[in-house]
Structure 1
């Protein structure tokens, strides 16, 4: 999980304390963060691909990454104290 934690902390550094708390206490948040990292990694890979359908995958993964990012940020804002 440390790779996921580092990835999310790097993206949302202003929410460090709440991220660390949420990662420790909420399995749904941990899963959402793991999904976000996995989708971001896949996006980066497809962006480097020269295969004919790479553009389709890039578009789909960008959409997924943006959706997960919004969900994570919404969760962080909801739990930021």
Structure 2
């Protein structure tokens, strides 16, 4: 889980404390961070690939990383208002 939290903190460094705290107390948020880290790792894999489907997969994973980042930000915003 620590790697996943670090991936989220790297994306939102100004909210690092909030990310760590929320990941510690919310299993759903932990899972979201894990999905984000996995999507980033997959993107790196495809960026390094020489496969003929490289560009399509990169586009898919860039969109997934972007969408998961939006979800992480929304969760942080929601919890900061509580």
Counterpart CA distance in 2 for 1:14 and 1:47 is 27
Counterpart CA distance in 2 for 1:65 and 1:7 is 11
TM-score by length of 2: 0.91
Residue in 1 that maps onto 2:23 = 23
Q: Once superposed, which parts of structure 1, at least 4 consecutive aligned residues long, lie more than 3 Å away?
A: none
TM-score by length of 1: 0.92
Counterpart CA distance in 2 for 1:10 and 1:66 is 14
Residue in 1 that maps onto 2:68 = 68
- Please give the root-mean-square deviation of Cα atoms over the aligned residues, in Å: 1.1
Runs of 5+ consecutive residues of structure 2 not aligned to the other structure:
none
Aligned residues: 81
